[in-house]
């Protein structure tokens, strides 16, 4: 590295995380520690039926018996599960009926994050938002408008109260409580999240979005999202996330389950920008998330798109179980790591039905001393006649102290299946940078251009307004990473 | 416009330019010729500010301003343009978007607002016609999958769009067939004016039949050893570079 690069790297370290502020609000926080009492407390706070409490307790008992995984490509830091508070909610009236009842401090927090919760301020019905602050959903917009078409979009807690039959039928049906250690933990202590149901034949009239915000100290966020698209339905859903800058690591262990019935389509996009920690790797969110969808019916489709720029450690593999014949699963990912960030992410495509198709496009970008891994599984079951998979994994390195790794696993048990795999690793070349700066372009902007060009195939999958956001985010995240 | 005094430059601590002097005035076209390894491309890269080239002595002034002090992007904004011998491919970045960014940055440096989209597109259209650049290529990713000739033509299109004071063409003729050469040369001729200047680096005299230079310089072992008018290029073509090597060798012996 030349001295010029070093200077730039120093600048990069000083680059502020834009969303690092904290909100000062009176909170109801559960005492630290994890036990059956903790679970009972959460369940009682949420006024849950007995069956759900039992479901949680079963998950907890399972969690207590499980060992931490050891197969990952990074050293998993010791997490003291007794040192975390599992419930934190802003003190407020028990039930919010209108925006006037939402604490103005919370409204201004989301306003600051660029998430207006006032429907009047949103341009004619572009996006409906569920805003989750620590452990609870504070506001879901456009509910009435969506209801006209039979679309249910509400917090998970409300769904448990108002649509228990749907929750009971589908909760844990894609990600069982016993799936992995963090899914088990989430199943035991999940506090809120979003619930979506799109009825038969309905094309959801607007983008649905959940915005997750961690605010309180020493807490974890364990949200649960459940999206059901009934026969012939369509929905596009986006989640965004940010957290304040804190010196301690915070745990985020979410579970997302998607269910697409016959001829239904779910498009799930994530722009993940949790606090990544400082330049020395101090603080930041551990983002250990289980996301999975099932194409239950024939001709159904589930598409995951993710832009991952935040978190100290990201560990997630959004997958699709392709059960219905002719169903389609897609995974488009851009994962950017810098400083000491670690990302181990990819997908699982499980082909069970006949003529099922999956497509995986993964674009890793590593800068600083970060490490970025793609880990993916493509599994073709014996009954998956004529199935196809296409996988493309590209890695882009910025500087010479970072790492990119690829772990593609393939299990094929049907001879008629076709699998293709392509992988490339490239470095942002001095010649590419010089070419752009020679045309008068600032070096940082030049890197932004190159990276956005590289990630274009994935960014193109995002809904328009979010694609613009994601492009900016990538450029901001890279500021100063190259000389 | 451009004054180069006693320029010494090294690549990986090997000295390539060993005391080069050159004076270029507005409205002039200077050809730099020379055998392989004489330092022709080094000169272009040093003027544009490529990091791997180290200036060990001498000065370069652009309209009185110390060029060597400036970063590559500021040199570009001051009006230095290098048409690359090997233009790189940048996948996913559209040619037009790239040019819009470049033009906006150059304008911002001069305190001008970015062009309105309409005016920009009008300019794109005009310049495309001026240098006979295919509109389809303008909308594709920057040089991605372009043929060698298309890449060179894209350099001239960029030159037309960015309107630099001083353009350095680094072996723009290499790898071009006669038709492409003619188009590239005609583009350059359209862009010549009393306010700008060109340094045309070339190995062969062929390009100079189309872009007629005011001065021809022969670079050999890091120094300009002969300067003259366009006839010098013809003489070189006829006698070959060995003639230079012998005469310079003889002069040095005396």
Question: Any idea where the domains of chain A sit in the sequence?
Answer: 3-478
Determine the pLDDT at residue A110.
65
Q: Are A214 and A285 in contact (CB under 8 A)?
A: yes
Q: Which residue of A has its CA nearest to B47?
A: A438
Q: Any residues with CB less than 8 A from the CB of A9 and at least 6 apart, and which?
A: A1, A368, A399, A480, A481, A483
Name every chain A residue with its beta carbon within 8 A of the beta carbon of B50: 434
- Report pLDDT digits (tens) over A15-56: 556 666 667 666 677 778 888 998 999 899 889 999 999 999
How many Å apart are CA A397 and CA A364, to the nearest integer?
8
**B56 has pLDDT over 90:** yes
Q: Are B168 and B84 in contact (CB under 8 A)?
A: no
- The residue ranking higher by pLDDT, B105 or B179, is B105
Nearest by CB: A434 against B50, B92, B101 = B50
Q: A26 burial class (0-12, 13-18, 19+ CB within 10 angstroms)?
A: exposed
**B228 has pLDDT over 50:** yes
Whether the complex's predicted ipTM is more than 0.90 is answered with yes
Calculate the alpha carbon distances from A232 to A200, A263, A293 in Å: 6, 5, 16
Enumerate the β-bridge partners of residue A314.
A287, A343
Q: Which residue of A has its CA nearest to B76?
A: A440
Report yes or no on B128 lying in a domain. Answer: no
Name every chain B residue with its beta carbon within 8 A of the beta carbon of A438: 48-49, 72-73, 75-76, 81-82, 84
- Report pLDDT digits (tens) over B152-188: 999 999 999 999 999 999 999 988 888 889 998 999 9
| Low-confidence residues in chain A, pLDDT < 70 | 1-22, 24-27, 90-129, 132-140, 214-218, 241-247, 465, 478-483
Determine the pLDDT at residue A243.
62
Name every chain A residue with its beta carbon within 8 A of the beta carbon of B99: 439
DSSP for residue A102? S
Question: B182: domain CATH number?
Answer: 3.40.50.300
Calculate the alpha carbon distances from A81 to A43, A171, A181, A251, A417 in Å: 19, 24, 12, 10, 44
Confidence of residue B107 (pLDDT cuts 50, 70, 90): very high
Q: Which residue of A has its CA nearest to B48?
A: A438
> Could you give the angle at the alpha carbon of B141 between the alpha carbons of B137 and B143, nearest 5°?
70
Within 10 angstroms of residue A21's Cβ, the number of other Cβ atoms is 14
Name every chain B residue with its beta carbon within 8 A of the beta carbon of A443: 73
Name every chain A residue with its beta carbon within 8 A of the beta carbon of B70: none
Calculate the alpha carbon distances from A470 to A118, A285, A287, A462 in Å: 23, 19, 19, 9
**B28 has pLDDT over 90:** yes
Average per-residue pLDDT for chain B: 92
Determine the pLDDT at residue A340.
86
CA distance B50 to chain A (A): 7
CB within 8 Å: B90 and A435: yes
A positions 418-437 inside 8 Å of B (CB): 429-432, 434-437
CA distance A372 to chain B (A): 21
DSSP-based three-state secondary structure for B46? helix
Main-chain dihedrals φ then ψ at residue B236, nearest 5 degrees: -60, -45
Q: Are A180 and A63 in contact (CB under 8 A)?
A: no
For chain B, say whether A67 makes contact (Cβ under 8 Å).
Answer: no
Q: At what angle do helices A443-459 and A464-477 cross, to 10 degrees?
A: 140
The per-residue DSSP string of B153-220 comes to HHHHHHHHHH--SEEEEESTTTT--HHHHHHHHHHHHHH--SS-EEEEEESSSHHHHHS--SEEEEEE
DSSP-based three-state secondary structure for A201? coil
Q: Which residue of A has its CA nearest to B84?
A: A435
Q: What is the mean pLDDT of residues B179-206?
A: 92
DSSP-based three-state secondary structure for A425? strand
Number of structural domains chain B divides into:
1
**B2 has pLDDT over 80:** yes
B positions 31-70 inside 8 Å of A (CB): 48-52
CA distance A279 to chain B (A): 26
Q: CB pairs below 8 Å between A and B: how many?
A: 79
DSSP-based three-state secondary structure for A377? strand
DSSP for residue A221? B
Q: What is the pTM of this model?
A: 0.81
Determine the pLDDT at residue A122.
46
Calculate the alpha carbon distances from A84 to A31, A87, A248, A275, A334 in Å: 8, 9, 11, 18, 30
For chain A, say whether B222 makes contact (Cβ under 8 Å).
Answer: no
Nearest by CB: A441 against B75, B84, B105 = B105
For chain B, say whether A122 makes contact (Cβ under 8 Å).
Answer: no
Report the b/e string of A384-418 with b at 16+ CB within 10 A. Answer: bbebbbbbbbbbbbbbeebbbbbebeeebeeeebe
Residue range of the domain that includes B61: 2-86+148-253
């Amino acid at each position: 590295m030349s001295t010029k690069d070093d200077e730039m790297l120093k600048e990069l370290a000083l680059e502020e995380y834009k969303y690092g502020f904290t909100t000062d609000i009176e909170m109801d926080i559960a005492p630290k520690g994890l036990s059956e009492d903790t679970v009972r407390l959460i369940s009682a706070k949420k006024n849950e039926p007995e069956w759900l409490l039992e479901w949680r307790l079963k998950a907890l008992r399972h969690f207590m018996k499980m060992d931490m995984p050891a197969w990952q490509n990074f050293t998993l830091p010791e997490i003291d599960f007794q040192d975390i508070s599992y419930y934190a909610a802003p003190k407020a009236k028990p039930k919010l009926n209108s925006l006037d009842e939402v604490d103005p401090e919370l409204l201004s927090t989301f306003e600051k994050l660029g998430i207006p919760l006032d429907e009047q301020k949103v341009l004619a019905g572009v996006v409906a938002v569920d805003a989750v602050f620590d452990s609870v959903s504070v506001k879901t917009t456009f509910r009435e408008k969506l209801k006209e078409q039979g679309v249910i979009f509400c917090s998970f807690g409300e769904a448990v109260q108002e649509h228990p039959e749907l929750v009971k039928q589908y909760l844990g049906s894609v990600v069982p409580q016993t799936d992995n250690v963090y899914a088990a933990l989430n199943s035991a202590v999940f506090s809120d999240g979003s619930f979506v149901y799109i009825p038969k034949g309905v094309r959801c009239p607007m983008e649905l979005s959940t915005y997750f915000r961690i605010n309180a100290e020493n807490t974890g966020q364990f949200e649960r999202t459940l999206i059901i698209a009934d026969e012939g339905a369509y929905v596009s859903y986006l989640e965004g996330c940010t957290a304040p800058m804190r010196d301690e690591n915070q745990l985020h262990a979410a579970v997302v389950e998607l269910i697409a019935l016959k001829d239904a389509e779910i498009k799930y996009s994530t722009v993940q920008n949790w606090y990544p920690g400082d330049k020395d790797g101090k603080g930041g969110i551990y983002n250990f998330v289980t996301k999975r969808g099932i194409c239950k019916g024939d001709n159904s489709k589930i598409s995951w798109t993710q832009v991952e720029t935040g978190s100290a450690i990201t560990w997630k593999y959004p997958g699709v179980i392709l059960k219905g014949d002719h169903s389609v699963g897609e995974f488009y990912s851009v994962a950017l790591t810098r400083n000491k960030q670690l990302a181990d992410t990819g997908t699982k495509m499980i082909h069970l039905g006949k003529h099922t198709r999956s497509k995986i496009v993964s674009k890793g970008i590593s800068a600083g001393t970060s490490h970025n891994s793609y880990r993916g599984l493509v599994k073709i079951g014996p009954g998956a006649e004529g199935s196809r998979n296409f996988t493309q994994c590209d890695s882009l390195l910025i500087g010479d102290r970072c790492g990119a790794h690829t772990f593609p696993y393939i299990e094929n048990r049907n001879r008629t299946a076709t699998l293709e795999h392509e992988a490339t690793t490239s470095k942002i070349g001095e010649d590419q940078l010089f070419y752009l700066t020679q045309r008068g372009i600032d070096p940082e902007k030049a890197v932004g251009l190159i990276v956005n060009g590289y990630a274009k195939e994935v960014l193109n999958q995002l809904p328009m307004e979010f694609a613009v956001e994601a492009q900016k985010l990538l450029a901001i995240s890279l500021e100063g990473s190259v000389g | 416009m451009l004054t180069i005094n006693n320029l010494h430059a090294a690549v990986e601590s090997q000295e390539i330019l060993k005391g080069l002097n050159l004076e270029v005035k507005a409205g002039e076209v200077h050809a730099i010729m020379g055998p392989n390894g004489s330092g022709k491309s080094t000169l272009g890269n040093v003027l544009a500010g490529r990091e791997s080239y180290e200036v060990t002595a001498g000065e370069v002034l652009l309209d009185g301003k110390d060029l060597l002090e400036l970063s590559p992007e500021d040199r570009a904004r001051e009006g230095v343009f290098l048409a690359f011998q090997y233009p790189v491919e940048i996948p996913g970045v559209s040619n037009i978007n790239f040019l819009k960014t470049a033009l906006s940055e150059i304008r911002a440096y001069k305190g001008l607002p970015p062009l309105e989209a309409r005016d920009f597109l009008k300019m794109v259209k005009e310049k495309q016609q001026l240098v006979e650049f295919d509109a389809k290529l303008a909308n594709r990713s920057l040089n991605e999958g372009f043929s060698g000739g298309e890449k060179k033509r894209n350099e001239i299109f960029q030159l037309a769009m960015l309107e630099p004071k001083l353009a350095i063409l680094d072996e723009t003729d290499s790898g071009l067939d006669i038709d492409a050469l003619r188009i590239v040369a005609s583009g350059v001729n359209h862009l010549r004016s009393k306010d700008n200047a060109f340094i045309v680096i070339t190995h062969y005299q062929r390009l100079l039949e189309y872009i007629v230079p005011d001065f021809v310089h022969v670079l050999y072992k890091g120094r300009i050893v002969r300067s003259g008018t366009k006839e010098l290029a013809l003489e070189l073509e006829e006698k070959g570079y060995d003639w230079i090597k012998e005469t310079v060798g003889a002069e040095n012996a005396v």
